[in-house]
Amino acid sequence: MKIAILGSGFISRFYADSLVAQRRKDIIVSVYSRTEANAKKFAEDYDVPHFTTSIKECVGNKEVDTVIIGLSNDMHMEAIIASATAGKHVLCTKPLGRNA
């Protein structure tokens, strides 16, 4: 799988560490962060070829098969809609909302 990670914080780094260390078939090809500096740092740390501050650009990348959402809960809906609209598989381990 070619993966995009949305987010560059603790949980996204946790996922990236696991993918880089254990899942040799899966590669991270794109990362999104709210700030360019954080996206660039994440990309450098994990040898990710593409980074951006646009969720739509990240998930719309033609190389991306799957999107891992490592964002705060309030950003999940936007990220999932963008990923689904782009026709990507989505992995989101937190709830989409905090109430029904």
DSSP category for residue 49 = S
Alpha helices, DSSP H only, in the chain?
A: 10-22, 36-46, 55-60, 76-85
Report the candidate in 26, 81, 100 with the shortest Cα–Cα distance to residue 92: 81
Report pLDDT digits (tens) over 66-75.
Answer: 999 999 888 9
Report pLDDT digits (tens) over 20-53.
Answer: 877 678 899 999 999 999 999 999 999 999 999 9
Q: To 10 degrees, the CA torsion angle through 100, 54, 25, 89?
A: 40
- Side chain identity, residue 18: S
pTM here?
A: 0.90
- Give the pair of three-digit tokens for residue 80: 């999932």
- Give the pair of three-digit tokens for residue 4: 């995009």
